[in-house]
Structure 1
Amino acid sequence: MKITHRWLSIAEGCLLVALGIHILNSAGLLISGTAGVSMILLRLTDLSFGALFFLLNIPFYLLAWCTLGRDFTFRTFASVSLLSILSELMKHYVVLSIHPGLSGALGGLLVGFGLIILFRHNASLGGLNILAVYLERHFSIHASKTTLIADIAVLIAALIFLDLSQLGYSLVAFLLLSSVVGRYHRPPKWAQVALVDAKVS
């Protein structure tokens, strides 16, 4: 039952993220991390978001396997694969027409809450999510700080491709995502113990 609950939760998290990204894509907006890089590359290649997202995550699995364990890596691989499939399905079957401001708000919130679900079940969406979990577990750096830095990097890269209004609405998505992760994500108890031990020593 516990295993079923975990995988249902991971599927729900991927669905929330896929919907959030689809809403952002429909308005030409961006989100942070590997997903944001994939959105930028959409403008430079003929590959779909799902294909780009899957390919970009391949190098990060090695980091996950070596530092975060087999179970985390497997769940992350499954989550990335599921998100890629869901993104392809939404691209073909879900048609949206939403104001960019609302797209930025809804997209950021959906992606943020989807990530929270995945983090709580020892999974991620690869890329910078893996780095965020690694830094949190080994150095007690909260995941929201890593995602915020990633947001800034993606925004800087997006200056070439987006106009000011798109950048502004994308920033709304970035801020809401970071806010959700910062307020609702709680590091595992053993990570908190490691932080206390580090302070004592």
Structure 2
Amino acid sequence: MKEHATHWLSILEACLLVALGVQMINAAGLLVGGTAGLGLIAQQMLPNLSFGQLFFVINLPFYAVAIRYMGTTFTLRTFGAVTLLSLLSDLIENTISLQLAHPLIASILGGLLIGFGLTILIRHNASIGGITIMAVFLERRMNINAAKTTLCTDVSILLLGLAFFDLMTVGYSLVAFVAVSSVLGRYRQPKVVLPAVVLNPNVVAAKG
């Protein structure tokens, strides 16, 4: 019971860090990668919906893939993390002003917060869903490297962002991408081979 509570407390702390980072970047009008980036782009088209609402909905289709290929524990923790991140993001957006003097500062600080939050989620067999789940699915079904899928997706999100953001904004957003990747590359557990997920050991054993 104590270990179970520790896992969820860590996931809550991780989601708070990611939510702060995302809203810091959002307040500066920048982008991040993954489904969070898709949520920020979707908010440009659907301004009446909050980031938290859009982020939660975007992740829904991926849970069917997660439970089949990642296992029940990972799926439940990921669903919990996505739900917490959605709620915390909206709470922060409505109650705290995160405007910074320069978008470059927002991109660096926001990216670092997201990176540390994702690192904690990695160590507790969870993620913030979406792109990570699809990357693992493609790796297992089609032998497409998950890191390459994630990279291609993030680049695609940046290119898509050009339709809604100016070139300078996209450039600052790229700094946030680099900050997230830098933290993940240095602090995630060495045994983890994917950029934002720990594989369920039972699933790995079954596949072997």
TM-score tier by shorter-chain length is: 0.7 to 0.9
Question: 2:87 is matched with which residue?
Answer: 85
How many angstroms apart in 2 are the aligned matches of 1:162 and 1:130? 27
Letter in structure 2 aligned against 1:48: S
CA distance in structure 1 between the partners assigned to 2:116 and 2:83 by the alignment = 19
- 1:9 maps to 10
- Structure 1 residue runs of 5 or longer lacking an equivalent are 195-201
Please give the alpha-carbon distance, in whole angstroms, between the structure 2 residues aligned to 1:121 and 1:154.
27
Q: Secondary structure at the match of 1:59?
A: helix
The 2-side partners of 1:143 and 1:181 are apart by 15
| Shift in CA distance, 5/95, structure 1 to aligned 2, threshold 3 Å | same
1:136 touches 1:187 (CA, 8 Å); kept in 2? no
SS at match of 2:156: helix
Partner of 1:52: 54
The residue matched to 2:129 in structure 1 has which SS? Answer: coil
* CA 1:190–1:2: 2 relative to 1, 3 Å: farther
Matched, 1:115 2:118: yes
2:29 alignment partner AA: G
* Structure 1 position 39 matched with structure 2 position 40: yes
- By how many angstroms is 1:12 displaced? 0.8
Matches within 5 A, 1:122-141: 122-132=125-135
Deviation at 1:147? 3.4
Corresponding residue number in structure 2 for 1:183 = 186
Return the TM-score normalized by structure 2. 0.84
3-state SS, counterpart of residue 42 of structure 1: helix
Deviations 1:46-65 (A, max 9, x none): 21100000000000000101
1:28-86 deviation digits (Å, cap 9, x = unpaired): 00000111011001110121100000000000000101101111111000000000000
Secondary structure, counterpart of 1:58 in structure 2: helix
Q: Tell me the CA shift for residue 189 of structure 1.
A: 7.2
Please list every run of at least 4 consecutive aligned residues from structure 1 whose deviation after the TM superposition is greater than 6 angstroms: 135-143, 189-192
- CA RMSD between the two structures: 2.6
Query: What one-letter code is carried by the residue in structure 1 that aligns with 2:103?
Result: P
In structure 2, the residue matched to 1:76 is 78
Whole-Å Cα distance in 1 between the matches of residues 49 and 14 of structure 2? 24
Letter in 1 for 2:83: S
How far residue 150 of structure 1 moved from its aligned partner, in angstroms, is 2.3
Partners of 1:167 and 1:29 in 2: CA distance: 7
